[in-house]
Structures are given as structure tokens and as C-alpha cells.
Amino acid sequence: MTLASIADAHCDTLMLLTGEHPAGTSLCDTLPGQLDLQRLLASQVGLQFFALFTVPTRDTGVNLRRILEMITQFHRSVVASEGRLRPVVSASDVDSRDGTVGGLLAIEGLSAIGGSVEVLEALHMLGVRSAMLTWNERNDLADGALEQASGGGLSSAGRRIVQAMQRLNMVLDVSHLGERGFWDLLEASEGPFIASHSNARNVCDHPRNLRDEQLKALAARGGVAGMNFYTQFVMDEGPAKLEDLIRHVRYIADLVGPEHIGLGSDFDGISAWPEGLGGVQDYGNLRVALTQAGFTSAECEGILGGNLRRVLRTVLA
Ligand SMILES: [Zn+2]
């Protein structure tokens, strides 16, 4: 295991920075939540996705403003970090560099762009490199995972946005997308994509998790599913243990191979997690649990970061 090898495809820390924490707080400060820059560095996390999440409303202007505020918070943190936090915007930024964390901006639900390719391009210019079309809800682009009644997929606008994302070399993220939308997105795109923070539905039957056929399709395209630590997506009920999360890893590894598994912790966006995995400082416990479950050190390295990096090197090229 090389230094700073962990890569995580989802956290909500920027949401807390622009909302709950006092003004002027940055990722460089000691934060009360599940991660901050100091702990990322100490925990050998070399690459961290930072989600730009807004609660969907009909007022796209409000949501776009919130997204811009979070992007500003991220770039202020980059400046304040004096080189320890660096934006990941191209393939050459993906490999870990000692003493630094690469931060990748990812929009969690594109409701705020109102179907505009130009607004998407503007966000790309500000450093955004990954996006999900919806956050559970039905919007202009697609139906989300919790919109069960309509069974809707991608709209024409949704397809245009997918094509624009491909032209801009942005990462397509199917987490939070409804099932029909998943298959539409597949048809409208090429190359590897990710499910940044979704588990196996056959292990925990929640609409935010992926069915076997979806996992197979994701793997066939060389993609990665990031394992989500939120208890609700790990097991049906009761407090979760690390072994319960490992059950998803083992299941997906047996189904499609461990090279299609990554991490999507959802840190700072979840209210319950497996015992012994309460923040980035606990990744050592996860490493031990993976090893005890019989994964080789090469497989562990892939699951903890190498597999996600492989996708990013391809897409951000
Ligand atoms: Zn989410």
C-alpha cells in the first residue's frame, strides 16, 4: 500500500462549510464532522470527491447560488491549504502526490442548471468534473431513484446534458438516478462511468442501491461503484458493523470482480454508519476488514483507490 493511496468518490463536507460552520471556516480547519484536510492527510486519503449538494427546489436560481458558494469555499480552502489541497481537473492530477490531497468537485443533482448546456460549461470552467443528473427527485433531466411512480428515464434535455458532459470529459455518475434513467444514460453515452455512492441491492434492498444487471452493465463499461457507508444502504435494519459493509464488497466482487469496487463514504452526509467507520480516521479498520475477508493486497489497493483512479485517468484524459 503506497502512501496517500485512498480515493473516495463522495462526501458532503462543502455543504456543512457553507451552512452549519461559522463563516470563514475552511477545509484546513479542524472540523467537528467526519473529515477535514488534516485528517485526510493523516489517513492517507490522496483523492477526495467533494459533492456540491443542494436540496432540490423549483427555484433553480437559489440552488445555483448555493452551488457557486460551495465552489468558492472549495477554492478558498485550496488557497488556504498552501499546496496541501489541489483541484483535480485533468488526468495528470489523479495520481497521488505525497503530502497533498486532490479534491474533485462533483455536482449532486443538476436541477440547478435548468437544462442549460452553457451553465454546465460555466461550472466546468470553475473546476466541476463530475455530476449526477438528479438527487432522487424528478427534474428537467431525469427521474431520480426515489421517484418510483413515474418510471421515467432521461428527457431530451437530459440526453443533451449527458452528451455535453462527455464532450467536456466529465465523469457521469448514476447514483441517485432512477432505473430507467440508468439504462437511458448507458445508451446515450460511451466509456466508463461511476455510481459514486451506491451499494448492492441484492444485499440491501433499497432503491438507492444497484441491481445485479446494473452492476454487470457498469462493470462491462469498466466503471466503479463506490461503497456507501450509510447504514440504510448497508443493511435492512439494525446497527451495522464493518462486516455488513464488507458483505456488499464481497457480493459485488463475486458478481463482477473487485476491480469495479471503490469507496463512496458519504461522510458528512450521513447520520448512521457501521461501527468503527465514523470518519476518515477509521479507514485503517476498513483496510483490516478487507484483508480479513480474503482480499489480496492488490485487490484492497484497487478497492481503496486504484479502481476509481483508473476510471478518472480514462475519463479526464
Ligand atoms: Zn447522495
Kindly list the domain boundaries of the chain, sorted by start residue. 6-315
**Ligand 1 centroid from CA 10, angstroms:** 8
For residues 196-217, average pLDDT? 98
What percent of the chain is modeled with pLDDT above 70?
99
What DSSP element (H or E) covers 227?
strand 224-227
For residues 228-248, average pLDDT? 95
**Ligand 1 centroid from CA 52, angstroms:** 10
- Which of 63, 103, 64 minimizes the C-alpha distance to 83? 103
Q: Is the pLDDT of residue 125 over 60?
A: yes
Banded pLDDT at 170 (limits 50, 70, 90): very high
Q: What is the pLDDT of residue 59?
A: 86
Q: What is the pLDDT of residue 19?
A: 76
Banded pLDDT at 1 (limits 50, 70, 90): very low
274 — phi, psi (to 5°)?
A: -60, 140
Q: What is the pLDDT of residue 4?
A: 58
**Ligand 1 centroid from CA 304, angstroms:** 19
DSSP structural state of residue 129: E
**Ligand 1 centroid from CA 54, angstroms:** 10
How far apart CA 238 and CA 257 sit, in angstroms, is 28
Q: What is the pLDDT of residue 135?
A: 95
**Ligand 1 centroid from CA 108, angstroms:** 7
**Lowest mean pLDDT across 3-7, 140-144, 207-211, 271-275:** 3-7
Q: Is the pLDDT of residue 89 over 80?
A: yes
Q: What is the pLDDT of residue 3?
A: 52
**Ligand 1 centroid from CA 28, angstroms:** 24
**Ligand 1 centroid from CA 176, angstroms:** 7
How far apart CA 226 and CA 249 sit, in angstroms, is 10
Amino acid at 207: P
**Ligand 1 centroid from CA 245, angstroms:** 17
**Ligand 1 centroid from CA 53, angstroms:** 8
Strand partners, 50: 105
**Ligand 1 centroid from CA 175, angstroms:** 7
**Ligand 1 centroid from CA 202, angstroms:** 19
**Ligand 1 centroid from CA 266, angstroms:** 7
What percent of the chain is modeled with pLDDT above 90?
91
**Ligand 1 centroid from CA 123, angstroms:** 19
What integer best gives the mean pLDDT of the chain? Answer: 95
Is residue 63 within 8 Å of 54, Cβ to Cβ? yes
**Ligand 1 centroid from CA 276, angstroms:** 21
Q: Is the pLDDT of residue 26 over 50?
A: yes
Q: Is the pLDDT of residue 33 over 60?
A: yes
Burial 77-109 (b: 16+ CB within 10 A, else e): bbeebeebbebbbeeebbebeeebbbbbbbbbb
- Report helix angle 179-188 to 212-220, nearest 10: 20
The reply to whether CATH 3.20.20.140 applies to domain 6-315 is: yes
How far apart CA 120 and CA 14 sit, in angstroms, is 19
Amino acid at 290: L
**Ligand 1 centroid from CA 135, angstroms:** 7
Q: What is the pLDDT of residue 100?
A: 97
85 — phi, psi (to 5°)?
A: -115, 125
**Ligand 1 centroid from CA 60, angstroms:** 19
Q: Is the pLDDT of residue 159 over 50?
A: yes
Q: What is the pLDDT of residue 237?
A: 86
